[in-house]
Structure 1
Amino acid sequence: MFRLIWTASVHTRCFLRRYMPTNIVLDAIRTRRGLRWGVPAMLLALPYLYGASIVTTLIANGAPAWLHLMALLLVWNAMKFIVIGPVSLFLLVRARATESRDRQIERHTIAAGARAN
């Protein structure tokens, strides 16, 4: 039973990762080229939060209760975009520090090779 649940969750995660638009955008932001777009991507949370407020207003006015799932999904996607901003900023600083350190090591290696000749 545990194996079945585990397999189902892995396949669900792979499906969601590959085909859901927010996950595709977040994966693109996590690349080295996309890290600079993390903070502006936080603005994408605003339409999701607005949509969640509309859905909760509809629910309060008598809409079907299954719309709670839609509100939860909208809030979840908004939170993903809010979190990616600081995370991408941290990853960008770390990537630039690594690149700077690699350039310094390369310069020292070239300089040491030139002195040896």
Structure 2
Amino acid sequence: MLRLLWAASVRTRYFLRRYMPTNILLDLIRTRRGLKWGIPAMLLAAPYLLAASICTNLIANGGPGWLNLLVILFIWNALKFLIIGPVSLVLLFRIRIHEAAERRRVRRQSEAMKSARYATIGA
């Protein structure tokens, strides 16, 4: 039974990760080229919060109860977009530090090779 539940949760996660638009967008933002779009993507939280507010008002005025599921979904997606902004900044900062260190390492190696060539020519 536990194995069946585990397999079902893995397949559900795979499906949601692969085909849901917000997850696709968040995966694209987490790439090296997409990290710069983390802060603007935070603005996408506003329409989700607006939709959650509208659904909440509909529920309060006697709307169907299944709208509660949409409220949860909208709030969850808004939180994902609010969190990706600071996370993308941290990831971009770490990658730029790593790239700068790599450039320094390559420059030092090339300078060492130049000095080794000049040492062999002068000897």
Aligned to 1:39: 39
CA RMSD of aligned residues (A): 0.4
TM-score w.r.t. the length of structure 1 is 0.99
**1:52 CA drift (Å):** 0.2
**1:54 CA drift (Å):** 0.1
**How many residue pairs align between the two structures?**
117
**1:111 CA drift (Å):** 0.3
1:25-48 Cα offsets, whole Å, 9 max, x none, are 000000000000000100000000
Q: Does 1:98 align with 2:98?
A: yes
Quote the Cα distance in structure 1 between the aligned partners of 2:100 and 2:3: 45
Larger Rg: 2
Large movers: runs of 4+ above 3 Å: none
**1:81 CA drift (Å):** 0.1
Consecutive unaligned residues of structure 1, counting only runs of 5 or more, are none
Aligned to 1:24: 24
Quote the Cα distance in structure 1 between the aligned partners of 2:58 and 2:85: 30
Quote the Cα distance in structure 2 between the aligned partners of 1:32 and 1:57: 40
**1:57 CA drift (Å):** 0.2
Consecutive unaligned residues of structure 2, counting only runs of 5 or more, are 118-123
Quote the Cα distance in structure 2 between the aligned partners of 1:13 and 1:82: 21
Aligned to 1:69: 69
